[in-house]
Amino acid sequence: MKRRDLFVGGVLAAAVAPLAAIGAEPASDSGVTLPAQARTVAALRDLDLPRSLQPAVHFDPRLPGVEYPPQTNSLQLAARRIPKLPASDTDIAFAPVTDQSHWLRTGQISSRRLTEIYLARIARLEPKLHYYITVTADLARAQATAMDAELEQGKIRGPLHGVPYSLKDTFDTKGIATTWGCALFRDRVPTEDAAVTRMLQEAGAVLLGKVAMGELANGWEWFGGECMNPWNLEEPAGGSSSGSGAATAAGLCSFSIGTDNLGSVLNPADRCGIVGLRPTFGRVPVRGAMPLTPSLERIGPLCRSVEDAALVLAAINGRDPSSACSIDMGFSYDAAIDPSKLRIGYSEAWFGQVGFEKTQEKVAATAELAALQALKDIGVTLVPVELPKLPYMALLENLYVESAAVFDDLGLSGRDAQLVNRVGWPANWRKARQLSAVDYLQLERFRRLVMQHIHSLYSDVDMVFGPTYGSFEFFAIMNFTGHPGLTLRAGFAQSPSRARSIENFFAPADSKGSRHTITRNVTFHGRLFEEGRMIALARILEARLGVQARRPPVG
């Protein structure tokens, strides 16, 4: 039997088994019988549904009856003295976007020179790093030249004008391969740009290339190898926006764009010691990005400094009328925030253990505790918070069901056996088929309950703060409720190389192995659409900690 037939038969068998267990008999073969239902499923599977087709039921993070104040599109950056252009190309490459933007506007550097600095670094370091799937050198030079011509004419598109960036290989780029990190799609060449690709081009940013991602947005392995951490090339860079995090940390672009379904922006940013921003669900258009989980997909920047994230989010924020899940909300950022007026939720327990599961937890490094103290010192009011005892991890089944539906053709045809990681998506997609439609909708009802609990929590605090993985439950919940999150470097620790398997992500590969410098991050989670206030407080904490400028040892 073909796999498709086995799965159709499995639908019938899975449905009949519970009836047999309670001594019931399935009804006769009429329009409402199980054989008829199996035929309906088979008919559906014969349809060639476009992968990008969105479900008729769509997710909205906003609760009914709750007001979400509108925002004007505005940027008020922190007042600070920007240094003159450094003499060293390396110093220029690692500079924040805020500085690079100033040097471009004031004529201290051209976009073409800045672009060539990055292309030279990519040519020199890429052979040992494998962060880029496709380098678009000719396009980058052409875009940079065009942006310089506009600057000479006095035209400035915005703070990203002439700034070189990289794009996770999940976003469509017209005439340029978009592989999704998967060998099955390595020859896929889109005929038009993704919404975000177009928005960044309109903002004047210069595309250096498409960076590696975990295969079909899972992990850090792709058809060209593994994406490793620039702080220690013996351990992973995190995923699934692996290349975005690693290339930004290694100074191979000014900033990058990643996607996040379950931590895929925050995780590589945490691993590589940079800033990662996961915006509110619906804020950034997803059209032209690889479809995966319609109710979870988010797009956000990975940067080397906190305020850079505000510049990038301002450029990619906007409504997409072609998307049922797009939300029309302006983005306002004002660095002049008074920390003494903010109430920040935290839990002492989160600062004692860090990890996914009990077997993987380890004592938090002193960097996270130092960041908590720094937050106290800048004047916020810390408020202890506690989550209700609920089975939050059940929500993960939602991710597996949605991704299984989007990539149904791979499972039914058996092509999922060709994936690099056969334990990841294939196993979870098969498991998803065992969840009944009734149980799936019960999960969605539970999700609404969790949204109500989190709304209640945020009625008492402005943000929640902790180590990125101080509570994996809270980390995961924020994905399913649609709330924004921002991670930034808190400091450093010495550690043996961490394992390369997702199952032992926090554990050292060899506890007695040589120790390396690793970065430690902390994370803010904010109210819906309040990224501006979250970025403003994170910028103050970043300045207080003073650890962001240190570079990884990649050259």
Residue type for position 31 = G
Residue 240 known to be catalytic: yes
**Whether the bond into 436 is cis, omega within 30 of 0:** no
- What is the distance between the alpha carbons of residues 8 and 13, in angstroms, rounded to a whole number? 9
Residue 389 known to be catalytic: no
- What is the distance between the alpha carbons of residues 187 and 64, in angstroms, rounded to a whole number? 44
- What is the distance between the alpha carbons of residues 221 and 219, in angstroms, rounded to a whole number? 6
Q: Catalytic pick from 101, 166, 240, 241?
A: 240
Q: Tell me if 544 sits within 8 A of 378, measured CB to CB.
A: yes
Helices 531-545 & 306-316, crossing angle to 10 degrees?
160
Query: 228 pairs with which residues across the strands?
Result: 236
Q: How many CB atoms lie within 10 A of CB 481?
A: 24
The helix or strand, by DSSP H or E, that contains position 237, with its residue range, turns out to be: none
- What is the distance between the alpha carbons of residues 170 and 360, in angstroms, rounded to a whole number? 30
Q: How many CB atoms lie within 10 A of CB 255?
A: 28
DSSP E strand boundaries for 191-307: 206-211, 221-222, 225-226, 228-229, 232-236, 255-260, 275-278, 298-303
Who's near 266: CB < 8 A, 6+ residues apart? 260, 276, 278, 468, 475, 485, 487, 523
**In 22-50, which ranges are continuous DSSP H helix?**
34-45
Write phi, then psi, for 507 (nearest 5 degrees): -85, 145
Residue type for position 181 = G
Q: Catalytic pick from 111, 168, 323, 495?
A: 168
Rg (CA), the chain: 24
Nearest CA to 114 among 254, 282, 221? 254
- What is the distance between the alpha carbons of residues 1 and 317, in angstroms, rounded to a whole number? 48
Q: Catalytic pick from 111, 242, 256, 264?
A: 264
Residue type for position 526 = G
DSSP E strand boundaries for 481-546: 485-496, 515-526
- What is the distance between the alpha carbons of residues 459 and 452, in angstroms, rounded to a whole number? 11
Burial classification of residue 35, based on how many CB atoms lie within 10 Å of its CB (0-12 exposed, 13-18 middle, 19 or more buried): middle
Q: Tell me if 497 sits within 8 A of 516, measured CB to CB.
A: yes
Residue 264 known to be catalytic: yes
Residues found in the chain: 555
**282: helix, coil or strand?**
coil
- What is the distance between the alpha carbons of residues 367 and 90, in angstroms, rounded to a whole number? 27
**HEC letters along 117-172:** HHHHHHHHHHHHHCCEEEECHHHHHHHHHHHHHHHHCCCCCCCCCCCEEEEECCEC
Q: For residue 163, give the DSSP letter.
A: -
> Which residues are catalytic, by number?
168, 240, 264
